[in-house]
Structure 1
Amino acid sequence: MPAFPHSTTSASVPTAVAVPPSLALPAIETAFPRQLHPYWPRLQEKTRRWLLDKRLMSAEKVREYADGLCYTDLMAGYYTGAPDEVLQAIADYSAWFFVWDDRHDRDIVHHRPDAWGRLRRELHTALDAPGDHLRHPDPLVAGFADSVARLYSFLPQSWNARFARHFHAVVEAYDREFHNRTEGIVPTVREYLELRRLTFAHWIWTDLLEPSAGIELPDDVRKNPAYRRPALLSQEFAAWYNDLCSLPKEIAGDEVHNLGISLIKHEGLDLEEAESNIRRRIEECISEFIVAEQEGLRFADGLADGTVRGKEISVAVRACLGNMRNWFSSVYWFHHESGRYMVDSWDDRSTPPYVNNEAAGEK
């Protein structure tokens, strides 16, 4: 069931979903009101159609699962001030990302290193020249090219180059994960935290704050700790909360990539201790973000130096900080509403019902 009714048009969104006590975060539920972009109903409709048109999901799976996966809800709750066409491009790209993640998983499960290696190479190539890959025979490559080409249309080439550089690193991180999972290698906590920032695409989602705000931020603004720290904290929260929610099923599935699994393997913690450790990190992220957010807002105010450009950058930084805050609530509720995490309802806990479990990518 989708998170928001079609009649929703207000900025603040009430939530009535029951959260298991072990995963409940009162600080999120009380101090981070849920927001929603008013374009959401159209967004859901158009992304559903895009998944079908690009052959990323079959008509049956789109009809049965697309809305319940809540991919558009996640993005509509994050980039709330984005122009409609920017949000649409981001939402389609995000939906593609989830499908790609599922293909990566299936290539590992079905022992398809050649298929994964080919896809990896083609994504690198398409990232640098998306217009040349819009009719690629693999729907995953063609859909990627389409979404990236649209994202590249909003800001200058310098932003595009940065986005490409960051996503090249994400593809390589997925390759390292492929190797670790096929070899049964559990990374150390330090190795995992570094890898997770890439596989969760921390800097990609942060980059996308800028087209949402309608401006490419200068390097000295974007790299300033007053901006960079709240951005990182918002992403770390999301990655670690995902790990907390996923830990029991990933242990059951012999996974190797989860902060809890690294803590158990390399720090000697038991399951309960690992969950407590992750939860402590999450709660520290929330409290540290609240402090960093205020520092960021003071930084934004200082950018308004009396010039038109200074005012423009100040307003954009404030918008980006607001969306960093939105990420907390959007991620939190997504994990309790999306069918992606309702493994107890699947016929086969090892095979998500919404994925193509055939030998995709093989020739």
Structure 2
Amino acid sequence: MHAFSHSTTSTPTAVPVPPALSLPVIESAFPRQLHPYWPRLQEKTRTWLLEKRLMPADKVEEYADGLCYTDLMAGYYIGAPEDVLQAIADYSAWFFVWDDRHDRDIVHRRPAAWRRLRFRLHAALDSPEDHLHHEDPLVAGFADSMVRLYSFLPGTWNARFARHFHTVIEAYDREFRNRTQGIIPSVEEYLALRRLTFAHWIWTDLLEPAAGLELPDAVRKHQAYRRAALLSQEFAAWYNDLCSLPKEIAGDEVHNLGISLVKHDGLTLEEAVTEVRRRVEGSISDFQVAEREALEFADSLADGTVSGKEISAAVRACVCNMRNWFSSVYWFHHESGRYMVDSWDDRSTPPYVNNEAAGEK
């Protein structure tokens, strides 16, 4: 199976999908879209990474486009205003860099550096304006992202986003402890933790500024909307586990659904891969049912009032973008250099990371 990459050249190139990772239903029933702003988005995020010193200039030059971080967001938040998409894309790129710093702090046994960063991110989340010039580029870049993301919707949305991201930071701390102590969580423990480390509710929250409207709590928490949102994120997290299993085994990881299934359910690696794939495929078919219910719910909100019409349209836009997440995540995993472990000089050290002890400075 092939897709056409929009990523690194002006001429589309065929991207092969290994048979073990191929999902024909995604390729046939979830047509890929890309926000028309994407070429400028890629250029501006690359510039932002340089300006904020989030990646060394040589690594930005060599790897930034090929990592396809902007492709992932441009394939998800279709219809978002350009400034909203740019803020989301920059934040997403920051998130990947943060994830890499977290990984390097674990690999190089830097608990003090991680603890400092954790507390600084909590503080920057609550008062980003005070951290725009922080000495640690990761903190300053995060603060810049938060100032921008907080500018689109009311303070109630900002408070919710902050609440959700505080839990993500703490989940990363639990992962830090698990990995440094060699603890492989049970399947149920892992699934609960994964919803936080993958930031399920953060990416779902960002559907609202993309749609231009904060959804009322009763709408956002409605079972039809929430189930579709959760399934789209579960697919992304589990498919990521399926694709990143070789990378994470090479990196002595303990957080992967496949690894938990082997350790706690007694499966062979081959059986675990089959089970993760079964869950991935189940999330797709379950979403297709949930999507219909969520769209019916969106239609029911159009009650003849101006407000009802706006909320109905926003919910429909959010649900349509939940659908876009499937194809965007799928192709990202086959186009991004982040998962091309076999091409790395050292399978445990991604070539695009800053492997120095940045956190100890």
TM-score w.r.t. structure 2 length? 0.97
How far apart in 2 are the matches of 1:77 and 1:234?
Answer: 14
Report the equivalent of 1:142: 140
For 2:229, the aligned partner's letter is A
Seen in structure 2, the aligned counterparts of structure 1 residues 351 and 5 have a Cα distance that, compared at 3 Å, is closer
Counterparts of 1:291-310 in structure 2, within 5 Å, are 291-310=289-308
Report the equivalent of 2:287: 289
> 2:33–2:324: 8 Å Cα contact kept in structure 1?
yes
Report the equivalent of 1:160: 158
Q: Number of residue pairs matched?
A: 357
- 1:267 Cα offset (Å): 0.3
- 1:349 Cα offset (Å): 0.9
Q: 1:56 aligns with which of 45, 54, 57?
A: 54
Q: Deviations over 1:185-240 (max 9, x none)?
A: 00000000000000000000000000000000000000001100010000000000
Q: Deviations over 1:122-159 (max 9, x none)?
A: 00000000000000000000000000110000000000
Report the equivalent of 1:78: 76
> 1:6–1:41: 8 Å Cα contact kept in structure 2?
no
Report the equivalent of 1:45: 43
Report the equivalent of 1:256: 254
For 2:357, the aligned partner's letter is A
Q: 2:194 aligns with which of 190, 193, 196?
A: 196
Answer yes or no: is 1:342 the counterpart of 2:340. Answer: yes
Report the equivalent of 1:4: 6
Counterparts of 1:1-363 in structure 2, within 5 Å, are 3-4=5-6, 16-363=14-361
**What SS does structure 1 have at the residue aligned with 2:359?**
coil
> 1:197–1:236: 8 Å Cα contact kept in structure 2?
yes
- 1:59 Cα offset (Å): 1.1
Q: Deviations over 1:22-74 (max 9, x none)?
A: 00000000000000000000000000000000000111111100000000000
Deviates more, 1:67-76 or 1:249-258: 249-258
For 2:323, the aligned partner's letter is R
> 1:3–1:73: 8 Å Cα contact kept in structure 2?
no
Seen in structure 2, the aligned counterparts of structure 1 residues 148 and 139 have a Cα distance that, compared at 3 Å, is same
Q: Deviations over 1:81-138 (max 9, x none)?
A: 1000000000000000000000000000000000000000000000000000000000
How far apart in 2 are the matches of 1:15 and 1:205?
Answer: 29
- 1:250 Cα offset (Å): 1.8
How far apart in 1 are the matches of 2:292 and 2:35?
Answer: 24
Gaps of 5+ in 2: none
**What SS does structure 1 have at the residue aligned with 2:166?**
helix
Moved over 4 A (4+): 5-8
Q: Deviations over 1:280-309 (max 9, x none)?
A: 101010000001000011000000000000
Seen in structure 2, the aligned counterparts of structure 1 residues 268 and 172 have a Cα distance that, compared at 3 Å, is same
- 1:176 Cα offset (Å): 0.1
> 1:51–1:62: 8 Å Cα contact kept in structure 2?
yes
Q: Percent identity at matched positions?
A: 81
How far apart in 2 are the matches of 1:16 and 1:222?
Answer: 39
How far apart in 2 are the matches of 1:260 and 1:218?
Answer: 37
TM-score w.r.t. structure 1 length? 0.97
How far apart in 2 are the matches of 1:91 and 1:23?
Answer: 26
How far apart in 1 are the matches of 2:68 and 2:206?
Answer: 19
How far apart in 2 are the matches of 1:67 and 1:158?
Answer: 35
For 1:107, the aligned partner's letter is D
Report the equivalent of 1:11: none
Seen in structure 2, the aligned counterparts of structure 1 residues 210 and 15 have a Cα distance that, compared at 3 Å, is farther
- 1:251 Cα offset (Å): 2.2
> 1:48–1:66: 8 Å Cα contact kept in structure 2?
yes
- 1:361 Cα offset (Å): 1.2
Gaps of 5+ in 1: 9-13
**What SS does structure 2 have at the residue aligned with 1:17?**
strand
> 1:293–1:321: 8 Å Cα contact kept in structure 2?
yes
